[in-house]
Structure 1
Amino acid sequence: MVQEKQSDRQQRLDNFLQAVEAAQKVQDDIMKYGLEAAHLYCDDVDGDWLETWGEDENRQQSFVELVTNFLQSDDLVAVRVRKQLKDKSLQGIAVELERCLRLSKEEERIFGVKNVLVGSVAVGESNCGTSDEFDEIELLDLAEELLDKLSEIFDQNI
C-alpha cells in the first residue's frame, strides 16, 4: 500500500515536471521565434478557421436532422430503435445519439448508445438495472448496428 502510494505520487510528480518542461519550451520558442512560434504548435494557423467559426454547430444540427430522418425511415434498425424507445421523441433520441458519437473510444460509444436505448440513462452513466442477460446482449447488438448506421450517415453527409 505504501509502495503504491509512493509510485502514484512519483507518477504525478513526473507528469507535473513534464508539463512544466513543455510550458518552458513553449515560452522559449515564443521568445526565440516571436509570433512565428505559433506555426510550431498549430497545424492550421493560416487556415480559414475564423471564417468557418460556428459551422460545427450547423453540422451538428444537420446531423441531428439526418439521424431524425433515419429514425423515421423503414430501415429495420430504425424500426427496432423506435420500438425500444416508444415514448421518446425522435429528435431527443437523435441529440443523445449525436453526443454518443462524440465520445472518443469505440467502446464508450457502443455503451453510450446502449444507454440511450435503455432510455432515461444519461450518456456516460452506466445502467446496472437491466433484468436479464439476453436483453443486455440484444441491446448491445442493436447498439452496434445503430452505431454502424450512424457512422454511415456521418461519413456520407459530413
Structure 2
Amino acid sequence: MVKEIEIKKTDKFTQYLEHLEAGKKLQEDWINHGIDCVDLYFEDIDGDWLETWGDDDYEPGYIEKLTTFLESDDVVAVKVRERLQHKSIDEIIAGLEYCLSQLKEEDRIFAAKDFLVGDVVVSGSCRASGNDDIDEVELLELAEDLMEKLTGILG
C-alpha cells in the first residue's frame, strides 16, 4: 500500500514537471516569436471560428425553449399569457422554473395552479391573492396541460 501512494505522488510530480516544461516552452516561444507564437499553438487563428462558434450542433437552451413556447400561438401558451398578463415573460419563466423544480408531478401541477391563480410563490410557501371566483377545475386542467407541454418541450 505504501508503494501505491508513492506511485501516485510520483505520477503527480511527473505531471507537474510536464506542465512546467510546457509553460517554459510557451514562454520561450513568446520571447522568440512574439505574438506570432500563437500560430504555433492554434490552427486557423485568422478564420471565422469565433463567429461560427457552436453553429454546428446548436440546440436552444432551457430559457430559450421556455421563451419560444410562451411566445408561441400554442393554445396553452395563449391561456397562460392571458392569465398572467400583468407579468413579464421573465417573471413567468421564473415562476415556471419553480413549478418544474418540484420533485413530484402532483406538486408541480399544484404549484403551477397556484402560480396561474396569481399566488405569490416563495421558497415552497404560497400566499393567495384572494380570488374566490376562479374556476378551480379549469385552472387545474390548464396547470396540468402546461406542465405536460413543458415536460415534453424540455425533455
Is it true that 1:138 corresponds to 2:138 in the alignment? Answer: yes
Stretches of structure 2 that go unaligned for 5 or more consecutive residues are 1-59
Stretches of structure 1 that go unaligned for 5 or more consecutive residues are 1-60
Q: How many pairs are equivalent?
A: 94
Report matched runs for 1:122-133 at 5 Å.
122-123=121-122, 124-126=124-126, 129-132=130-133
Larger Rg: 2
Which residue of structure 2 aligns with residue 82 of structure 1? 81
Query: CA offsets, 1:92-149, max 9 Å, x none?
Result: 11121012111111111111111211124115334553414x6111111100000000
Q: C-alpha distance in 1, partners of 2:101/2:141?
A: 20
C-alpha contact 1:64 1:98 (8 A) present in aligned 2: no
Cα RMSD of the aligned pairs, angstroms, is 2.0
C-alpha contact 1:65 1:91 (8 A) present in aligned 2: no
Q: C-alpha distance in 1, partners of 2:61/2:114?
A: 23
- Whichever structure has more helix as a proportion of its residues is 1
Moved over 4 A (4+): none
Which residue of structure 1 aligns with residue 93 of structure 2? 94
Query: CA offsets, 1:21-51, max 9 Å, x none?
Result: xxxxxxxxxxxxxxxxxxxxxxxxxxxxxxx
Q: C-alpha distance in 2, partners of 1:64/1:112?
A: 19
- Whichever residue aligns with residue 149 of structure 2, its letter is K
Report matched runs for 1:27-66 at 5 Å.
62-66=61-65
Under a length normalisation based on structure 2, what TM-score does the superposition of the two structures give? 0.55
Identity %: 50
